[in-house]
């Protein structure tokens, strides 16, 4: 009896104990401080499946190293369980192979659910009506690496669910997704997620996002829209106050930004400190201090990009920008205002808010990612989420016991 209740007791103790070490689920991506003007909210639907929501959100936010480490921890713990179990149960090769296969299938199902399962999203909410949340890096099916069928309205719904007010569609080598998205925009900002146009292209070997490329700025890339035309971009920069805003994306070669050799680094106005791809999350967290130093020394705005290609239901970060009376602006007026603030305000123009996850900045932190990721996830739970965790854990226990009792009744009667 006690052995059967061991796992729910352990989970319950961890859920309750972690409350004493609770932290905000979001923080400033540059300073790691608490963000006073923004909070993470969850819907009733998200709360109703709180354990599933928390686990799948956490998996989506892991770095490459953390994914590997967590998988290894699961495998090692499973192997240890099978070894202990063998002391009291018959062991055969076929049973162990079947158990290992079951574990592999379970891992695949969990990751598939994190990537494609429709579910409610956690969303950012700001307390200041003049502040809007922006994503500067998103993709549609029209990009060569976008999820099949992931159209502009899917992008709009995804960003609305995550609390974004604005999202730039920055596909590779095409404007179709962005143009379709703009055509479906609400008449005025603030009435739904507004989609704006951009382009992800290559400049001196680095991936950059050019805001309003193909809409306000034409001819600044090669004809196939894959590479930046540096001469055309330089000409566009000659007109004060109207130059295109260029954002350095991660992962990337940060040494190029501070290169002492003239004309070898892309001319950028901003740099991502949060990028939602696993490789982007890896570099952004590993080189956070370096990115902030570059932003300070080169006077670059810090921004967040979901880099969402249609997979997952978790936003990694939001760029907060202050624009009085932004609600009610038409599409082009809003895009010009956003880009003017980035172009002129640079480092002081933005604040980036990120989801909080376990540290991944050192080999030791990555090696112990298994328990660290679980603990950090639990410490970010709200009081309501903790209650739902306990309801789910003990609800499962009661259902399992009821099923077992029901199965045993015919045998007892006989």
Do 277 and 193 reside in the same domain of the chain?
Answer: yes
Q: Would you say residue 1 lies in a domain?
A: yes
- pLDDT above 70 covers a percentage of the chain that reads 97
Q: Would you say residue 79 lies in a domain?
A: no
pLDDT at 413 over 60: no
Q: Would you say residue 115 lies in a domain?
A: no
Specify the pLDDT at position 265. 67
Specify the pLDDT at position 340. 96
Q: Residue 308 corresponds to which tokens in the numbers above?
A: 């969402």
pLDDT at 327 over 60: yes
Specify the pLDDT at position 1. 58
Q: Which domain holds residue 244?
A: 123-355
CATH code for the domain in which residue 137 is found? 3.20.20
Q: Would you say residue 63 lies in a domain?
A: no
pLDDT tens by residue, 251-271: 999 999 977 666 766 889 999
Q: Would you say residue 350 lies in a domain?
A: yes
pLDDT at 121 over 60: yes
Count: domains in the chain: 2
Q: Would you say residue 55 lies in a domain?
A: no
3-state SS string over the chain?
A: CCCCCHHHHHHHHHHHHHHHHCCCCEEECCCCCCCCCEEEECCHHHHHCHHHHHHHHHHHCCCHHHHHHHHHHHHHHHHHHHHHHCCCCCCCHHHHHHHHHHHHHHHHHHHHHHHHCCCCCCEEEECCCCEEEEEEEECCCCCCCCCCCCCHHHHHHHHHHCCCCEEEECCECCCHHHHHHHHCCCCCCCCCCEEEEEEEEEECCEEEEEECECCCECCCECCCCCEECHHHHHHHHCCCCCCCCEEECCCCCHHHCCCCCCCCCCCCCEEEEEECCHHHHHHHHHCHHHHHHHHHHHCCEEEEECCECCCCCCCCEEEEEECCCCCCCCHHHHHHHHHHHHHHHHHHCEEEEEECCCCCCCHHHHHCHHHHHHHHHHHCCCHHHHHHHHHHHHHHHHHHHHHHHHHHHHHHHC
Do 338 and 398 reside in the same domain of the chain?
Answer: no
pLDDT tens by residue, 40-98: 999 999 999 999 999 999 999 999 999 999 999 999 999 999 999 899 888 999 999 99
Do 327 and 395 reside in the same domain of the chain?
Answer: no
Specify the pLDDT at position 411. 52
Whole-model pTM: value is 0.94
Specify the pLDDT at position 258. 78
The model's confidence at residue 2, banded by pLDDT at 50, 70 and 90, is: low
Do 236 and 276 reside in the same domain of the chain?
Answer: yes
Average pLDDT score over residue span 189-216: 96
Average pLDDT score over residue span 203-220: 95
Q: Residue 374 corresponds to which tokens in the numbers above?
A: 């679980």
Q: Would you say residue 268 lies in a domain?
A: yes
Whether residue 159 contacts residue 317, with contact meaning beta carbons closer than 8 Å, is answered with: no
The model's confidence at residue 350, banded by pLDDT at 50, 70 and 90, is: very high
3-state SS string over 183-206?
A: HCCCCCCCCCCEEEEEEEEEECCE
Residue 95 to residue 347: CA distance in whole angstroms: 59
Q: Would you say residue 202 lies in a domain?
A: yes
Specify the pLDDT at position 22. 97
pLDDT at 175 over 50: yes
Please, what is the Cα angle at 227 between 224 and 229, to 5 degrees? 100
Specify the pLDDT at position 343. 95
Specify the pLDDT at position 414. 45
Do 339 and 386 reside in the same domain of the chain?
Answer: no
pLDDT at 395 over 50: yes
pLDDT tens by residue, 232-254: 998 888 877 789 999 999 999 99
Do 282 and 152 reside in the same domain of the chain?
Answer: yes
Residue 358 to residue 375: CA distance in whole angstroms: 8
Convert 180-196 to b/e letters by CB count within 10 Å (16 or more is b): bbbeebeebbeebbbbb
| Mean pLDDT score across all residues of the chain | 94
pLDDT at 174 over 50: yes
Do 409 and 334 reside in the same domain of the chain?
Answer: no
Do 280 and 398 reside in the same domain of the chain?
Answer: no
- Which candidate, 334, 51, 408, 358, places its Cα nearest to that of 167? 334
Do 288 and 217 reside in the same domain of the chain?
Answer: yes
Specify the pLDDT at position 162. 98
Q: Which of 355, 371, 400 is the last residue of a domain?
A: 355
**54 Cβ partners below 8 Å, 6+ apart?**
377, 381, 385, 389
Do 136 and 263 reside in the same domain of the chain?
Answer: yes
Whole-angstrom CA distances from 168 to 76, 142, 177, 212, 344 are 42, 14, 10, 9, 19
Do 264 and 404 reside in the same domain of the chain?
Answer: no
Specify the pLDDT at position 241. 79
Do 394 and 271 reside in the same domain of the chain?
Answer: no
The model's confidence at residue 105, banded by pLDDT at 50, 70 and 90, is: very high
């Amino acid at each position: 009896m006690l052995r059967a209740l061991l796992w729910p007791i352990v989970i319950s103790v961890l859920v309750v104990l972690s409350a004493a070490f609770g932290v905000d689920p979001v923080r400033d991506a540059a300073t790691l401080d608490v963000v006073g003007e923004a909070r993470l909210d969850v819907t009733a639907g998200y709360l109703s499946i709180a354990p599933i929501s928390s686990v799948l959100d956490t998996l989506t936010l892991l770095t490459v190293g953390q994914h590997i480490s967590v998988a290894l921890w699961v495998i090692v713990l499973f192997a240890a369980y099978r070894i202990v179990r063998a002391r009291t149960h018959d062991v055969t090769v076929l049973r162990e192979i079947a158990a290992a296969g079951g574990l592999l299938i379970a891992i695949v199902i969990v990751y598939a659910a994190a990537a494609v399962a429709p579910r409610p999203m956690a969303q950012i909410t700001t307390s200041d009506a003049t502040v809007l949340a922006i994503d500067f890096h998103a993709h549609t099916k029209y990009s060569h690496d976008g999820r099949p069928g992931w159209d502009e309205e899917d992008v709009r719904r995804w960003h609305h669910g995550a609390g974004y007010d604005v999202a730039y569609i920055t596909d590779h080598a095409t404007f179709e997704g962005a143009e379709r998205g703009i055509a479906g925009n609400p008449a005025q900002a603030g009435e739904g997620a507004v989609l704006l146009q951009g382009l992800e292209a290559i400049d001196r070997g680095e991936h950059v996002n050019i805001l309003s490329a193909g809409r306000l700025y034409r001819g600044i890339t090669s004809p196939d829209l894959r590479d930046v035309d540096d001469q055309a971009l330089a000409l566009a920069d000659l007109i004060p106050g109207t130059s295109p805003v260029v954002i350095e994306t991660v992962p990337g070669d940060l040494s190029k930004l501070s290169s002492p050799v003239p004309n070898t680094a892309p001319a950028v106005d901003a740099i991502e400190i949060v990028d939602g791809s696993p490789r982007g999350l890896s570099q952004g967290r590993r080189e956070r201090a370096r990115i902030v130093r570059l932003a300070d020394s080169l006077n670059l705005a810090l921004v967040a990009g979901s880099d969402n290609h249609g997979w997952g239901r978790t936003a990694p970060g939001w760029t907060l920008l202050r624009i009085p009376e932004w609600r009610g602006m038409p599409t082009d007026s809003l895009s010009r205002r956003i880009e003017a603030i980035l172009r002129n305000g640079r480092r002081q123009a933005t604040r980036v808010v990120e989801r909080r996850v376990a540290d991944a900045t050192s080999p030791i932190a990555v090696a112990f990612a298994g328990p660290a990721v679980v603990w950090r996830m639990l410490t970010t739970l709200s009081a309501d989420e903790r209650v739902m965790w306990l309801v789910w854990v003990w609800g499962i226990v009661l259902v399992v016991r009821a099923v077992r009792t029901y199965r045993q009744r015919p045998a007892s009667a006989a």
